[in-house]
Amino acid sequence: MHRIDTPTAVKDKFGPGKNGFTDGNIRTGRHATWLNSAMWDALQEEICGVIEKAGIELNKEEHDQLYKAILLLVGGAINEEALLIKNNLSDVEDSDEAVENLGLKPTVDKAKNAVQRDGDTMTGELKIRGVNALRIFNEAFGLIFRRSEECLHLIPTRENQGESGDIGPLRPFTLNLRTGRITMGHGLDVTEDVFAGRFAINSSNGTWIQMRDNNVIFGKNRINTDAAQALLRQDHADRKYFLAGLGNKQFGIYMINNSRTDNGTDGQAYMDDAGNWRCGRQVIPSDYGNFDARYQTKTGGVQNFQYTSEVFYNPGGNEHSWTFRAPSGCVLSGINVQDTGRNSADNIGGVYYKQAQIYINGAWRSVSG
């Protein structure tokens, strides 16, 4: 193909080296552009070449062969190589290479591992360098995870500032990142078991009466009058033991058998409201050496006392003076006074005495000394 180059062509009509045509002008004597055989040959071969390359046989009766050829040539190229809008890039043969050619590989790599807004599972760490790391919220309240100096705080917002409010004044939970110590600044309510290797209360020193208000382990266990409440309980196979109290009346150690069905206890040792120590059964020591000299055991104590039958001592006559001392362990129980016939009863004819006996360890023993 070539542009018109006959002597009557309009030189550079469409730019340098781009000649064009003219109709001519009779009044000015300008001739119309005439076409030579070379121009018509070039035009013919260009058009026919397109039709034949599309695989269409030339037919002078058909006047749309160039149109058909263009459709076939363009359509064929699209079917084999072009990207169709309707396929939404699914017809790209090598999508990874296409992404890399577009310079999007770093972005796509990050997107492949991105956490989805509607929920996802992460296998690596989520690293946040900011002070406020995470906020869980609704319209009323928000909870902010905040790192401050060497501590991690869980801090609520003020009410009705859940989504965008700043941290509030409360500090309910603080974790010291250096020591691992946890501080709870506004109390702790536990409804299930608590297991601790060591438990301590920050109490204070003072007088006896100040103990009523000092910090203690169970300082909030207020008990109603006549109500029972346990502070400690130990479970055994057949029974349970308690450190407990009966409201305003007693406090001590109690035992309740698992077989019991009615109200009450099966063993108790407690202090009553008058300060007396009471025990429902015997106090049995495992070593009687633990008892000091002020107390006697059952086998060593006097359990009863009696006198034997009365005995009479006769001095043998009233002609002489006599002296009588009761035998060891005996006491005088009577005297025999005789009438001398001289209007007075002044003669001692004898005395009566009895042996004293005590009952110890299942046997009667005569008192000596």
Summarize pLDDT for 310-329 with one digit per residue, the tens.
999 998 877 778 899 999 99
Q: Strand pairing partners for 269?
A: 253, 279
pLDDT of residue 209: 87
pLDDT of residue 227: 93
pLDDT of residue 274: 95
d(CA 354, CA 333): 6
Indicate the residue type of 84.
Answer: L
pLDDT of residue 201: 81
- Crossing angle between the packed helical segments 37-53 and 65-80, to the nearest 10 degrees: 50
What are the tens digits of pLDDT across the range 115-167?
888 888 888 888 888 888 889 999 999 999 999 889 999 999 999 999 999 99
Which tokens sit at 138?
């609704």
Indicate the residue type of 278.
Answer: R
DSSP state of 367: -
User: Rounded to the nearest 5°, which phi and psi values hold at 191?
Assistant: -105, -10
| Residue 142 near residue 136, CB atoms below 8 Å | yes
d(CA 219, CA 199): 15
What are the tens digits of pLDDT across the range 339-366?
776 665 568 889 999 999 999 988 999 9
Confidence of residue 288 (pLDDT cuts 50, 70, 90): confident
| Residue 6 near residue 34, CB atoms below 8 Å | yes
pLDDT of residue 112: 81
d(CA 239, CA 251): 19
User: Across the chain, how many H-helices and E-strands are there?
Assistant: 4, 15
pLDDT of residue 326: 92
- What's the N-to-C CA distance of the chain in angstroms? 163
Average pLDDT over residues 12-28: 89
User: How deeply is 155 buried, as exposed, middle or buried, from its count of CB atoms within 10 A (0-12, 13-18, 19+)?
Assistant: buried
Average of per-residue pLDDT values in the chain: 87
Among 54-58, 107-111, 273-277, the least confident range? 107-111
Residue ranges of the domains in the chain?
A: 132-184, 218-279, 304-366
d(CA 243, CA 255): 9
Confidence of residue 238 (pLDDT cuts 50, 70, 90): very high
Looking at the chain, how many residues does it have? 369
pLDDT of residue 167: 92
Q: What is the share, in percent, of the chain residues with pLDDT greater than 90?
A: 44
- Angle (nearest 5°) at CA 113 between 110 and 119: 125
Residue 242 has pLDDT above 70, yes or no: yes
d(CA 154, CA 141): 13
Q: Which residues of 176-203 are buried (b: 16+ CB within 10 A; e: fewer)?
A: eeeeeeeeeeeeeeeeeeeeeeeeeeee
* H-only helix segments in 218-326: none
pLDDT of residue 172: 93
d(CA 90, CA 20): 46
pLDDT of residue 37: 87
Confidence of residue 77 (pLDDT cuts 50, 70, 90): low
Choice between 294 and 178, residue whose per-residue pLDDT is larger: 178
pLDDT of residue 175: 96
Confidence of residue 292 (pLDDT cuts 50, 70, 90): low
